[in-house]
Structure 1
Amino acid sequence: MQKKVVIVGAGNAGTVVSNELINRLGNQVEITVIEPSEYHVYQPGIVDVVLGYESPESIMRKVESLIDRRANIVKDRAVKVIPEKRTVVTSNGKEITYDYLVLSPGVKNKAGALPSWHTLDEALKLREMVTNFTGKKIVVGYSGVIKCPAAPFEFAFLLKQKFPDTKVTLINPVAQPPELQRPMANKLGERSKELGIEVLRGVKISSVDPSNKTIVTDEGKKVEYDLALIDSPIQVGEEFANLVDSSGFIPVDKKNLKVKGFDDVYAIGDVTNIFLPPKTGAIAHYEAIYVAESIFSDIMGYEKPEFDGSAMCAIYGGYRNGYFVYMNYEKSSALGPSTLFYSAKKSFTSLYWLSLKGGINPILHAASKYFSGGPQLIKSR
């Protein structure tokens, strides 16, 4: 009898889970993916679009072109999850039942005075701001929990490269990074000094006034700008309000990624209450591979693995230099700067689409094993 797997969200994580399960189990599973958007956007590529290094078309593909045709794609929005009834309700009133549920809907940014940098529409607005910039003061910053703590540094580095005569200031609300993030933080801090970027650590943004081009900190200090890129905090959609805890995110057991209290519901990506390693597409991808393996093992009666928190990515360092960062729950490392890591970051704009279909999984497994010093995250069967 076919097992029903419902996946909410066809971003990075949801697409990977769908394709992995179909590749492994074929017709033994009935996969339903609920996704309202027509296009899938490679979010790390937004940095390149904003700076004018990539076209919008290069970082987007139709959802249906990325998911195995054997999956059912429901072009609708999930508005309610009723785990006690194993049911997901869509905005059109459709009730979809499941044996396994994977929540990977992503998150949304809280409304801010300036565009954030996580949707294509926002990217195009920022691109126009950057293209028309003629001033001398650039401020990059963020507040609260964001998707990728390296992204503000990438923007600062690349904007300094594009406008070398400007003063670039980075407002970082974190005074002291967690120990797990310290290798990355040290590398990015060193690079900031090399490029002459002022980093205001431990400074929280209280308000942004676009009309007067002024940012006010929580201590009352005013930071003036001619161009500002400020990312606002992320939050889980209200349709999942019955699942979040006091953190504002969906609580999971970090070793098996199951939503606490439910053995048949997984949550992966930005919606979870996992904050270390920080929220990135990299950890979402590894979580997706793990969840597919876990569901596969459960259906086949195999011993289930545990997730070790693996995540790795390349980061732009400006001037054709880049960094490579690996983290799991226990350790982290950061390498660079190097032109090799810049090239790796650049090339992933193309490789990303292949990664969604499992095309580079052997590389990901080998890298995870090498950097963690332990067994492979997922063993191929």
Structure 2
Amino acid sequence: MTLTSNSRRKIVIVGGNSAGLRVANQIFRMMRWPNVTIVEPSTSHVYEPLLPWLAAGLATPEEVSKPLADVLPKQINWARQGLKKLDPKKKVVILESGREIPFEFLVWADGLVPNWKKSMKGVDALVGENGICHTLDLENARATQKMVNSFEGGKVVFAMMSQLKGEEAAQRFLFLLDDVLRKKGLRDKSSFHFVAIRPDLFPSTKIREKLEAIAKQKGVELHFNHGFKSIDADKRTIVFDQLNEKGKASGETLELDYDLLHVTPALIPPEPLNKAKLAARTGDSKGLMAVDQHTLQHKKQKYYFGIGDALALPIPRVDAAAEGQAPIVAYNLLATLKGKGPGTFKKYDGHASVSLSSANKQALLTGFDYENEQVAVSMGSEEEGYLSWLKSRYINPWMYWRKAAKGQL
């Protein structure tokens, strides 16, 4: 589908991350001279799957991040501010400066945001000191790398307090760090504890069983259904509540000493989604954008589409999902622009691939969709393999930046 230049309808994309960049490029490929504005305050663009590799000292900052201006389509309007409010009635986005940008169609691509206050209160102020680190962004991944470089063995604790997303990156760094310490001859001097608020290491059953077996084989002690209770940074001690079946503190606690503490707070949907009444109001999807799982169009507002982690979809939130969602969103948005209905839309089947590193030069590459917990992917294997590692560590990043720079995502 290609639209001519006289169809200059105003399209706003919220979020200049991988999801936003992918859908922007798809729109530019399908529509001649579109009037697109992307709302993104950051001047750099990060390839997030490589952040754990950077933190482990196995990737460089140049491989992970590039200037956003170098990968955005040149014709795009870039609003270099954060989003303050979305007004569906007026059909405007309001930036932090108060500037209003009107739109006819909106694509929500912004991802989940950390909520330290409700999940790990006070820990955010301690990150970067006393052995406390995280890998949620480029700056902190680089700081974590410095801690890893100076680490001489000891007690390593992973505190994974997010229900919606984060397990992919946390377990990747877990196994990469294990491998780095083994190569330095420090693993025998170290203990590993992985503490999660979730009941498992990964949402998909088959890959979960494999990952948990690998973790136990590597001597990682797993503690599920635990929530953060308190921390004493001076003594380097962290305490967790064991949770009951209702997710409440059972009265039993787990106290661990640490020399290196990797933290992942709760990752939640951005507040503007809720305030604009675009989010699901109840259930496990509460706060996430209420889209049709096949068309990715909002269930009630036909001029709104979504892509990425903030959507209420029944699949794990992994970095690669946006690749399959972007052409669906672009096609269906342009079909709506031409006055066509959902009967003409393309359908998203939930397919995404995920690479789960089990060591440096070893990875499991698998996939899933709405119908199957596990489906075949190119070069993939349920067993640990070198080709899966090669694809996730080098081929995927190289293809991403090569295509991004040419507007081919």
Deviations 1:59-78 (A, max 9, x none): 11111211211211121222
State the distance in 2 between where 1:86 and 1:67 align.
Answer: 24
Is the counterpart of residue 345 in structure 1 residue 383 in structure 2?
A: no
State the distance in 1 between where 2:297 and 2:237 align.
Answer: 43
State the distance in 2 between where 1:93 and 1:152 align.
Answer: 37
Is the counterpart of residue 265 in structure 1 residue 298 in structure 2?
A: no
Output aligned runs, 1:107-186, within 5 Å: 107-111=112-116, 112=120, 113=123, 114=127, 115-163=133-181, 164-165=187-188, 166-175=190-199, 181-186=204-209
The answer to whether the Cα contact below 8 Å between 2:167 and 2:201 also exists between their aligned partners in 1 is: no
Match of 2:402 among 354, 367, 371: 354
Displacement, 1:135?
3.2
Paired residue for 1:105?
110
Other structure's SS at 1:269 match = coil
Match of 1:280 among 318, 335, 340: 318
State the distance in 2 between where 1:175 and 1:37 align.
Answer: 34
Is the counterpart of residue 193 in structure 1 residue 232 in structure 2?
A: no
Displacement, 1:141?
2.7
Match of 1:234 among 267, 279, 284: 267
Other structure's SS at 2:173 match = helix
- Residue type matched to 1:92 in 2? S
The answer to whether the Cα contact below 8 Å between 1:16 and 1:358 also exists between their aligned partners in 2 is: no
Match of 1:24 among 26, 30, 35: 30
Give the paired residue count: 358
Other structure's SS at 1:26 match = coil
* Structure 1 residues 358 and 229: alpha-carbon distance in aligned structure 2, compared to 1, 3 A threshold: same
Paired residue for 1:291?
329
* Structure 1 residues 358 and 24: alpha-carbon distance in aligned structure 2, compared to 1, 3 A threshold: farther
Displacement, 1:15?
0.6
State the distance in 2 between where 1:223 and 1:355 align.
Answer: 45
TM-score, normalised on structure 1? 0.87
TM-score, normalised on structure 2? 0.81
Other structure's SS at 1:199 match = strand
Match of 1:86 among 88, 91, 111: 91
The answer to whether the Cα contact below 8 Å between 1:258 and 1:266 also exists between their aligned partners in 2 is: yes
State the distance in 2 between where 1:357 and 1:272 align.
Answer: 27
State the distance in 1 between where 2:165 and 2:61 align.
Answer: 20
Displacement, 1:211?
2.1
Instruction: Percent identity, please.
Output: 24
Deviations 1:250-308 (A, max 9, x none): 3222222223321111122222233x322222113322232112113334566101221
* Structure 1 residues 319 and 280: alpha-carbon distance in aligned structure 2, compared to 1, 3 A threshold: closer
Other structure's SS at 1:352 match = helix
State the distance in 1 between where 2:392 and 2:24 align.
Answer: 25
Gaps of at least 5 residues in structure 2 are 1-6, 128-132, 182-186, 242-251, 375-380
Query: Cα RMSD (Å) of the superposition?
Result: 2.2
State the distance in 1 between where 2:294 and 2:229 align.
Answer: 36
Other structure's SS at 2:159 match = strand
State the distance in 1 between where 2:211 and 2:357 align.
Answer: 10
Other structure's SS at 2:287 match = coil
Other structure's SS at 1:293 match = helix
- Residue type matched to 1:350 in 2? W
* Structure 1 residues 62 and 227: alpha-carbon distance in aligned structure 2, compared to 1, 3 A threshold: same
Paired residue for 1:322?
363
State the distance in 1 between where 2:261 and 2:87 align.
Answer: 42
- Residue type matched to 2:146 in 1? E
Displacement, 1:358?
8.1
The answer to whether the Cα contact below 8 Å between 2:86 and 2:94 also exists between their aligned partners in 1 is: yes
State the distance in 2 between where 1:167 and 1:133 align.
Answer: 13
- Residue type matched to 1:234 in 2? L
Match of 2:44 among 36, 39, 48: 39
- Residue type matched to 1:346 in 2? R
- Residue type matched to 1:60 in 2? S
The answer to whether the Cα contact below 8 Å between 2:196 and 2:224 also exists between their aligned partners in 1 is: yes
The answer to whether the Cα contact below 8 Å between 1:86 and 1:99 also exists between their aligned partners in 2 is: yes
Displacement, 1:359?
7.7
Deviations 1:81-108 (A, max 9, x none): 1112221111222221222100112222
Gaps of at least 5 residues in structure 1 are 362-381
The answer to whether the Cα contact below 8 Å between 2:236 and 2:259 also exists between their aligned partners in 1 is: yes
- Residue type matched to 1:10 in 2? G
Is the counterpart of residue 72 in structure 1 residue 77 in structure 2?
A: yes
Paired residue for 1:365?
none
